[in-house]
Amino acid sequence: MPLRTSRSLAPIVALVLVLGASPAQARPFGEQGQYIVTTAAALDYQRDTIRIEGAEDETRTRFSFHVAGDYTSFRRISFGIDFGIDGEVSGVEGYDTAKIFRFGGRAGYVLPLGAVASLWMRAGLSFGNGTFQTQTTEYTVRGTRLSVSAPFMFNPYPQVLIGVGPTFDHDLTAKAGTAIDAPKVTGFGVHMTLGFWFE
């Protein structure tokens, strides 16, 4: 009877050993041949009071959502693409709204900071096409933007990424219509990113 019991438990013991060893076998983030998928989303709700007699309060929502895919062609060096939408919507009819679609490429370098942490430095160029609507007119702006970010990445579980870090964006070109220069935007911020990687 004892011998029969040990044989029946053998497959379960083997499965536990395999599952227990799987996390240790996962290679660190940034090794060659990894596919990386990340997202970044932001939602900002703001209520403005217009200081004009007879005017109503304005409710304005700013939003941003981006998805990116990267691949580590070489150890710690990544190349990828990024696309998303940025915008601003006013809750008062006739006030400014904006919707900008962006698509671009980027390159990065992963600097390990320990067993479950790293610094992922990235820089890229994106092309944007935006529609802006004011109280009196609607126009389109096309431009090229330089984006730099350096999030600190953490791996709470194997192949899961959570990151937060500084960002910098600067419009290299901005044209309204075909030849009219539009205002260029330069911005600093701190963004959070979530993602995963697989091999």
Neighbours of 186 (CB within 10 A): 10
- Find, among 143, 144, 69, the residue nearest to 106 by Cα: 69
Domains and CATH numbers, the chain: 30-198 (2.40.160.20)
Query: What pTM was estimated for this model as a whole?
Result: 0.75
Do the Cβ atoms of 118 and 130 come closer than 8 Å?
no
Tens of pLDDT, residues 76-133: 999 999 999 988 877 655 557 888 999 999 999 999 998 899 999 999 999 999 988 8
DSSP secondary structure of 155-182: -SSTTEEEEEEEEEEEEEEEEETTTEE-
Tens of pLDDT, residues 40-63: 877 655 555 555 566 566 666 778
